């Protein structure tokens, strides 16, 4: 086992649980920052004040901030005179359109908007990593880039624009994290291979050309009836024509139509999501839904407009990066701090980065009791804040450690 005191980052490694470490100056700063962001959340593509605040704090450290990526995105680079790999760490900044219903002094002050997915946590921890790299004398090779992106929660999301604007230029590997209330505070969870599912949204607009009287449905096409057939066929396809060994989840989440109890509407709107684990299955599902719409159009003499959102591929963790971080978790905190995990059928736009570069997505446990075990996107979501500084410290450790290892990622 390595001499832990030489890392220069991990605080008081005598205990295997991150949440047991003493509060430091950095910890106090990160708690204050996280609570401020929690009180003043901003929705996707509108993270202007969040961006300004973090940029001002980075510039106060004497760092040169590269701004203007994807509107509100930005990054800082740490360059070594010694050649080495380019390594990046990503944080997301946007909040959700959810009312914060927690009874805490740092609850959201913005009506109907809150950080119920923990992006305030990710933003704060990434700042902590940057501060550690800026204020500690450390040895590393190559380049370490810390970057903040907008709009993880919305389609189209922010990572494609960040990539377009050059955030991965000169980068060989990219890391990211998500806080996880279902993992015990102090544990770090990760898996090799697929981490999340691929995601696609679908929308159908069925138009019969005219409303009909509910007493005489035979007088013209019935958009409502066609809509019900479409939903039934969607669910039957997922259950009967997809290999049960290939995780596939199709959910119809919107069915909007009608203005009165005795009028058959002429328009029906249907929307939902497809979640799969492979690009080939994504293509199959889109193809089936397109063909279904065409066949129902012809059969029932209606028009059906079909639309698919941009979607996102699956996050795929690189096996070498997985083994590296797994071993570092065990080395730094003990075997009990590491927790394997099943693949999630949720989606995450970090996947656009792992589609371009070798990457690893880490889950950091933040659940320590009833107040912090509420699921992501719950109106009661909160975290165990004791993980903030130790997590930032560990991330700085793995980034600098990676820079000095000859990891073969090709």
Q: Which residues are catalytic?
A: 94, 152
CA gap 33, 149 in Å, rounded: 17
Q: Strand pairing partners for 294?
A: none
CA gap 201, 307 in Å, rounded: 8
Question: Are the CB atoms for 361 and 395 separated by under 8 Å?
Answer: no
Residue 53: name the closest of 79, 89, 26, 29 by CA: 29
Question: Are the CB atoms for 327 and 320 separated by under 8 Å?
Answer: no
| Backbone phi and psi for residue 359, each to the nearest 5 degrees, phi listed first | -145, 170
Question: Are the CB atoms for 320 and 405 separated by under 8 Å?
Answer: no
* Residues in CB range of 219: below 8 A, 6 or more apart: 212, 213
Residue 254 vs residues 201, 225, 269, 316, 390: alpha-carbon distances, Å: 11, 15, 7, 30, 42
Q: At what angle do helices 48-60 and 119-135 cross, to 10 degrees?
A: 20
Angle at 143 between CA 138 and CA 144, to 5 degrees: 70
CA gap 290, 306 in Å, rounded: 7
Report the relative pairing of strands 65-69 and 73-79 from DSSP bridges: antiparallel
Tokens for 52, please give them: 């300004």
Count of C-beta atoms within a 10 Å radius of residue 388: 27
Question: Are the CB atoms for 273 and 200 separated by under 8 Å?
Answer: yes
Sole residue written with tokens 């159009």: 297
Provide the strand spans (E) within 216-299: 249-257, 263-264, 267-276
CA gap 165, 73 in Å, rounded: 10
Q: Please give the helix or strand (H or E) that residue 325 lies within, else none.
A: helix 319-333
CA gap 44, 47 in Å, rounded: 7
* Residues in CB range of 287: below 8 A, 6 or more apart: none
């Amino acid at each position: 086992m390595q001499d832990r005191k030489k890392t220069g980052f991990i605080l008081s490694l005598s205990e295997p649980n991150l949440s047991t470490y003493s509060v430091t100056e950095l910890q106090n700063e990160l708690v204050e920052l996280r609570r401020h962001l929690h009180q003043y959340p901003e929705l996707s593509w509108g993270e202007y004040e969040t961006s300004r605040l973090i940029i001002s704090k980075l510039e106060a450290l004497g760092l040169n901030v590269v701004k203007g990526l994807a509107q509100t995105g930005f990054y800082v680079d740490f360059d070594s005179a010694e050649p080495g790999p380019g390594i990046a760490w990503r944080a997301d900044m946007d909040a959700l359109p959810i009312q914060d219903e927690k009874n805490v002094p740092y609850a959201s002050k913005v009506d109907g908007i809150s950080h119920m997915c923990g992006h305030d946590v990710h933003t704060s921890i990434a700042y902590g990593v940057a501060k550690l790299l800026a204020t500690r004398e450390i040895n590393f090779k190559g380049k370490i880039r810390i970057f903040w992106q907008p709009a993880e929660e919305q389609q189209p999301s922010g990572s494609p624009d960040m990539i377009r604007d050059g955030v991965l230029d000169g980068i060989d590997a990219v890391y990211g994290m998500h806080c996880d209330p279902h993992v015990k505070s102090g544990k770090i969870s990760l898996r090799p291979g697929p981490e999340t599912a691929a995601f696609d949204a679908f929308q159908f607009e069925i138009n019969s050309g005219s409303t009909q009287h509910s007493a005489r449905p035979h007088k013209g096409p019935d958009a409502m009836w066609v809509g019900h057939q479409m939903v039934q066929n969607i669910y039957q396809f997922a259950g009967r024509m997809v290999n049960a060994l290939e995780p596939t989840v199709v959910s119809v989440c919107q069915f909007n139509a009608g203005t009165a109890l005795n009028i058959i509407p002429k328009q029906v709107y249907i929307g939902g999501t497809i979640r799969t684990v492979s690009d080939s299955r994504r293509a199959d599902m889109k193809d089936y839904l397109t063909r279904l719409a065409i066949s129902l159009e012809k059969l029932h003499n209606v028009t059906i407009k079909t639309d698919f959102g941009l979607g996102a591929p699956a996050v795929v963790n690189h096996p070498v990066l997985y083994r590296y971080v797994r071993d570092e978790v065990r080395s730094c905190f003990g075997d009990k701090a590491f927790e394997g995990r099943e693949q999630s059928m949720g989606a995450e736009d970090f996947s656009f980065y792992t589609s371009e570069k070798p990457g690893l997505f880490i889950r950091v446990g933040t659940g320590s009791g009833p107040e912090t075990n509420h699921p992501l996107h719950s109106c009661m979501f909160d975290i165990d804040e004791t993980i903030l500084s130790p997590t930032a410290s560990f991330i700085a450790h793995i980034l600098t450690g990676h820079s000095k290892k000859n990891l073969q990622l090709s």
